[in-house]
Amino acid sequence: MESLLPTELWRNGPQPGSLYNFPGGKIAGHNEPVKRTMYPIVTGTSVLGLKFKDGVVLAADKLGSYGSMAKFRDLTRLLKVNDQTVVGAGGDYADYQFLTEIIEQRVIEEECLNDGFGYTPSSLFSWLTRVMYNRRSNINPLWNTYVVAGWQKGEGFLGYVDKIGTAYQAPTIATGYGAYIAQPLLREALEKNPNMTAEQAAEQLDRCLKVLYYRDARSLNKYDLAIITKDGVEIRSSIVSKTNWEIAHMIKGYE
């Protein structure tokens, strides 16, 4: 066969004209756009998780803040991965959407293998930790905080992964402002009643989300709740907490 003349004389080497910036010409090497998340744009606030006697509950409000503007008031920040796992996300919504597509594609690929295995909460958690840490090590993070909740091997699973790759598991998890406001409430509730039912756990999360609505300036009084038990995943959408403004009558002026 005739040999084709190579179209390039060399590959992966320096391009002619790229080593020196000729005055008046275009700056060499700036042909690709900068592709790293420097700062989040549309953001989600806290995600709360609580382990109860026979499972885990996860909740996140439905707000996507555009800085200080309440731009998107109907976003779902909870993703049902399969009948055993749910992932909740705070932080940049675009990065969460990017990851959602990847996770969903992977779940489909798992299905295609048809070997009876699917993603367990802890396998997803490990994978997610690796991804997040790897991205941060390349100074190109996914600007999110994830909470992985699920049911495996007869008990609940609840884990936290950061944009810098910090990962841990705990009986109560709260991200963002929730860490300061809701975490004390959740810890106290669990200490008082270590064996809660699903309804009691959901009630505790409602209590915390109500206080977050009072005190977090980037929150909304509408949230999604996911309850994961051995029987699968139940997602309750668009729950509105009953807020109490009785004290409003007591406040007049500032002195």
Partner 1 sequence: DGVVLGADTRATEDTVVADKNCSKIHYLADNMYCCGAGTAADTEMTTQMIASQLELHKLNTGRTPRVTTANRLLKQMLFRYQGHISAALVLGGVDVTGPHLYSIHPHGSTDKLPYVTMGSGSLAAMATFEDRFKPNMEKAEAMKLVRDAIAAGIFNDLGSGSNVDLCVITKDKVEYLRPFDEANIKGKREGNYGFKRGTTAILSTEVKKIPFDIVSTQVVTSRSDSAMDTA
Site for partner 1 contains 65 (CB under 8 A): no
Catalytic member of 7, 37, 45, 166: 37
Burial 132-143 (b: 16+ CB within 10 A, else e): bbebbeeeebbb
Count of residues that bind partner 1 according to CB under 8 A: 23
Q: Which stretch binds partner 1 (CB under 8 A): 29-37, 147-155, 179-187, 230-238?
A: 179-187
Q: How many helices (H) and strands (E) in the chain?
A: 4, 13
Question: Residue from 43, 85, 183, 241 that binds partner 1 (CB under 8 A)?
Answer: 183
Q: Candidates 26, 71, 215, 230: give the one binding partner 1 (CB under 8 A).
A: 215
HSE (side-chain half, CA atoms, 13 Å) at 9: 3
Burial 15-52 (b: 16+ CB within 10 A, else e): eeeeeeeeeeeeeeeeeeeeeebeebebbbbbbbbbbb
Three-state DSSP class for residue 130: helix
CB of 194 to partner 1, least distance (A): 16
> How remote is the C-alpha of 60 from its chain's centroid?
9
Measured from the CB atom, the residue of 126 and 221 that comes closer to partner 1 is 221
Determine, following the binding rule CB under 8 A, whether residue 211 of this chain makes contact with partner 1: yes
Out of 214, 222, 235, 239, the residue judged to bind partner 1 by CB under 8 A: 214
Q: Is 85 a catalytic residue?
A: no
- Site of interaction with partner 1 (CB under 8 A): 177, 180-185, 187-188, 207-208, 210-211, 214-215, 246-247, 250-255
Residues with a catalytic annotation lie at 37
